[in-house]
């Protein structure tokens, strides 16, 4: 009922939400939280936008592509913020966010 | 904690969700459902996008404005679809969707 | 970052949302929509509750189990409604909703 | 299209989401974040559950009351956690969460 590129994007969105939530929770317990504030806020944004896009794809929304472009830039911003921090959870989160950006692009090109 | 233009937009989004849900349910019970299909689907889209935008505003998301532009066009499309139908619930829904479009514009201009 | 039983439940919730949305859309295009109204409404409920539970699990919410009990009964009601209708999409939807009920139970027992 | 008690509950849920989000953001910028962790997590839960309940009421979901009981206990737990902290935003958040608990009760009794 969903074509393959949609299935792949949903899988990627889901992984991104799980990893961003993990990063958010780990950031909260770092010794210095102040430098992690932007990262915490970006993780929260990513989780929400990935969830909205997942719903739009499942609903077969005619606005899914338009919306995927915003989600793509949110995940890209999140990846760029995470990359700034040496914490292992941030570096891993940057990687998964980048994969999600690529999955959005594949979905948009199709 | 929210400025006035945000409060007004949230009020408008909420009214739009309530009225679109009412229109959707009434469309389902019309004698002829086939001509109402686009209206039903558009109502469903409006409800979801208004809800996402409400959440983005409450969260003070830095992407709220970008997202408001999509929500604005969804509500505009919904108003245009509803306007085609003579049913009282459709005409009323078109009116409320238009008000929501205006509220999005005010929010974007501020 | 998620344990296996959570991964399985998320997979099941997702499939349930996709199949319920398909069933909802197919019900809308049946020649007689009136007898499908309860099925349409139940599909809409299932989609929403599965989505909320997915979010709660991803967030590692302390209320996920409590919430899974409501989701379980929504999916069960949806399965029972779908089972009443001979349409292939309804019979298939009943099956997938039942699988989701089982996935909720496994999650609750763990 | 919504009865008065539903309108009041929606207004209360909305205020609760706004104030919990404010409390969450303020907690993140306190000098000592570690003692605020439970408060941050509870605020996040409250925001999500209030949002789900708002959607369920707008949708006229047959599960709204069942779900209001969970939301009520989430907001009560959030109020109790906030009350422990002397910060003005926590004390205010506790107050608004309590009001939301009362609005849920009124909705359930009706």
User: What is the separation, in whole angstroms, between the first and last Cα of chain C?
Assistant: 17
Burial of residue C32, with CB atoms counted within 10 A of its CB: 0-12 exposed, 13-18 middle, 19 or more buried: exposed
Residue-level pLDDT at A11: 96
- Rounded to the nearest angstrom, the minimum Cα separation between D47 and chain A is 12
Residue-level pLDDT at B45: 98
Residue owning tokens 């506790």: D94
Question: What b/e readout covers B82-102, taking b as 16+ CB neighbours within 10 angstroms?
Answer: beebeeebbebbbebbbbbbe
Q: Is this complex's ipTM strictly greater than 0.85?
A: yes
Residue A80, classed as helix, strand or coil, is: helix
Residue-level pLDDT at D49: 98
Quick: pLDDT tens for D14-28. Answer: 999 999 999 999 999
B2 vs D18, D55, D60: nearest CB: D18
CB C43 within 8 A of CB C90: no
User: What is the separation, in whole angstroms, between the first and last Cα of chain A?
Assistant: 17
CB C21 within 8 A of CB A58: yes
Q: Calculate the average pLDDT of chain C.
A: 97
Subunits close to D (at least 3 CB pairs below 8 A): A, B, C
Look at D40 and A33 and tell me if their CB atoms are within 8 Å.
Answer: no
CB C53 within 8 A of CB C64: yes
Among candidate residues C9, C16, C36, C15, the one with its CA nearest the CA of residue C25: C36
Position C24 pLDDT exceeds 90: yes
- Phi then psi for residue B3, to 5 deg, are -80, 170
CA angle, corner B56, sides to B50 and B59, nearest 5? 140
Tokens of C14: 């997702």
- Rounded to the nearest angstrom, the minimum Cα separation between A58 and chain C is 6
Residue owning tokens 């496994």: C106
Residue-level pLDDT at B66: 97
Domains and CATH numbers, chain C: 4-109 (1.20.1270.360)
Distances in whole angstroms, Cα of residue A61 to Cα of each of A6, A47, A52, C34? 12, 19, 11, 24
Work out the pLDDT band at D98, boundaries 50, 70, 90: very high
**Distance of alpha carbon A29 from its chain centroid, rounded?**
21
Tokens of D55: 């959607």
- Phi then psi for residue B61, to 5 deg, are -65, 135
Per CB-CB distance under 8 Å, the chain A contacts of D40 are 28
Scanning every residue of chain C, which has its alpha carbon at the shortest distance from the alpha carbon of D66?
A: C70
Look at D70 and C70 and tell me if their CB atoms are within 8 Å.
Answer: yes
Residue-level pLDDT at D105: 97
State if pTM tops 0.90: yes
Quick: pLDDT tens for B18-66. Answer: 999 999 999 999 999 999 999 999 999 999 999 999 999 999 999 999 9
D74 touches C: beta carbon within 8 Å: yes
Quick: pLDDT tens for C39-93. Answer: 999 999 999 999 999 999 999 999 999 999 999 999 999 999 999 999 999 999 9
Question: What b/e readout covers D95-110, taking b as 16+ CB neighbours within 10 angstroms?
Answer: ebbbbbbebbeebeee
CB D70 within 8 A of CB C70: yes
CB D43 within 8 A of CB D28: no
Per CB-CB distance under 8 Å, the chain B contacts of A44 are 59
Q: DSSP code of D61?
A: -
CA angle, corner D8, sides to D2 and D9, nearest 5? 90
Quick: pLDDT tens for D59-79. Answer: 999 999 999 999 999 999 999
Tokens of B13: 């989004």
Measure the CA–CA gap between D18 and C65, rounded to whole angstroms. 26
Q: Going residue by residue through chain A (110 aa), what tens digit of pLDDT does each one get?
A: 888 889 999 999 999 999 999 999 999 999 999 999 999 999 999 999 999 999 999 999 999 999 999 999 999 999 999 999 999 999 999 999 999 999 999 999 98
Position C1 pLDDT exceeds 90: no
Per CB-CB distance under 8 Å, the chain D contacts of C44 are 59
């Amino acid at each position: 009922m969903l074509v393959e590129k949609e299935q792949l994007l949903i899988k990627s969105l889901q992984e991104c939400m799980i990893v961003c939530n993990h990063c958010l929770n780990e950031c909260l317990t770092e010794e210095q939280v102040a430098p992690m504030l932007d990262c915490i806020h970006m993780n929260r944004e990513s989780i929400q936008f990935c969830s909205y896009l997942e719903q739009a794809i499942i609903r077969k929304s005619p606005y899914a592509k338009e919306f995927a472009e915003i989600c793509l830039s949110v995940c890209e911003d999140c990846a760029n913020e995470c990359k700034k921090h040496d914490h292992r959870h941030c570096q891993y989160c940057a990687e998964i966010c980048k994969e999600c950006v690529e999955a959005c692009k594949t979905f948009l090109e199709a």
